[in-house]
Amino acid sequence: DEARRAATWVLLLARDEHSLGAAAELAADDRLPPVALDVIRRWGGSAIRPLVDASSELSPRGRAIALQMASDLAARAEPAPDVLRSLRAALRALLSSDEATVVAAGA
């Protein structure tokens, strides 16, 4: 667990898009330090699409966290129209999910 958190941290610092899914899963379990979330925020709009793309492969809580992160970034950035469409579609799917955790996070 410690090794996974450390590896995710290093990959986030290197702006490795593939680490965003692992970061969302760790955040869903309250195992991602707040400083790591700050690193993701510094990515700005460039993290939105990878978070949306990764969300479909994550646990229900991880999916909700990934889309929450993407939404927060979209509120601060001006994502391209196609990125915004993808995010909105993923959020709509989140709201129609049967998973109670996912529905609560998306509401």
Detail the DSSP E strand segments found in the chain. Answer: none
Q: Cβ of 71: how many Cβ atoms within 10 Å?
A: 17
What is the pLDDT at residue 94? 87
Q: Where are the domains of the chain?
A: 2-106
pLDDT in tens, 84-100: 999 999 999 988 877 66
For tokens 């925020």, what's the residue?
Answer: 41
pTM, two decimals, is 0.88
What Å distances lie between residue 54 and 68, 91, CA to CA? 13, 13
